[in-house]
Structure 1
Amino acid sequence: MSERHTVLRSLHDVGLAAWFGGSLMGAVGLNGAAKREGADWQQGARIASAGWSLWAPVGAVAIGAHLVGSGGLLGANAARVLTQQGVAASTLAKTALTGAALAATVYGRVLGKKIELASSGTPQDAEKAERLPADIRQAERHLSYVQWAVPALTCGLIVLNALHAEQQRPAQQLYGVLRRARTLAPYVMSIHHWYRTH
């Protein structure tokens, strides 16, 4: 490829790395430390909530950077998506995983906010927590699943990113374009035949 997209690739990769790394660190380190150091459920929940709240703005910036980079690279590689066999499928899979990771991240934040409010001990916060979906035990259970789902989904994005990099090798591009042309050839011949006979 003659064109370079260093800024877009950097936004894409650094954003994804922070999204994956931050979510994995939170699920393993922060939650584990909160359980170990908290004298009771309330204190442990407060420790975990404080850490996740501090990370939330950084995580949002990382996700935003990744989305900007992804959108820019998709636009820059639109021709390859259309003409190279396999690229459209991996792009679709990547889009679906990104959507799932975003949904899990947002849902996790909503559940985390409920637990944060419920564990604060302030009556006003407890009232606010009641307005959010799910009871506290259900929220905790769902949150534990979601906080592991996010690093799993973003790890899937890293794997698909590696696949995209392999698909950009010159030999892979040529092979993919030839396969796409061979796939489309019968349809082109059918259309050509139809025009000749009508």
Structure 2
Amino acid sequence: MATKATERTPSPTAESRHDGRLADADDRVVAGRAADGDPQAFEVLVRRYSTLMRVYARSILGTDDEADDVVQEAFVIAWQQLDSLEDPGVVKSWLMRIVSRRSIDRLRARHEHQDIADYDPPAEAAAAPAQAAQTRSLAAAVGTALASLPGEQRRCWLLKEVAEYSYREIAADLELPESTVRGLISRARVNMAREMQAWR
């Protein structure tokens, strides 16, 4: 009996190897496992995308507290609905859509439109000091460039470039004609390129 119990209980070393394999696996594998109810796989998704989701939510909402709440809500929704995701390989954009919709819902509930002024992509943990400094400089330049854009251009640019929305999805979420969205993103890209010239 003791032998069977031991066989059924993975050793810490085996669990560590399992976690390591999941951490190195691509999104399709990890999301597929999470959709099957594997909490360790879902935790990998949380670690992999929570920072990006928080940055994006904070950019829309303007406050860290609300961004944290929205990200938590998004992951609860994701855990409940993962089995409905037809292509696990697109889990990143799917998660970004959820956090975007939750953020926009909060904006609408407040009956106001706050500026989206700080986009701060995280540096890689193992980045060398010079590379980290360059990343911080780029983040500051992007934040300054975004701050110079009109509000609708900023929202459209973030949804397209950060959340990886299609034009149609942006139009639906922001309740704008698709032609307007295309125009806003086109102008935003021109303005961003102009503002970023000094950094280059």
Give the shorter-chain TM-score range. under 0.3
> Structure 1 or 2: larger helix share?
1
State the TM-score, normalizing by the size of structure 1. 0.25
State the TM-score, normalizing by the size of structure 2. 0.25
Give the greater-gyration-radius structure (CA): 1
Q: Which has the higher contact order (CA 8 A, sep 6+)?
A: 1
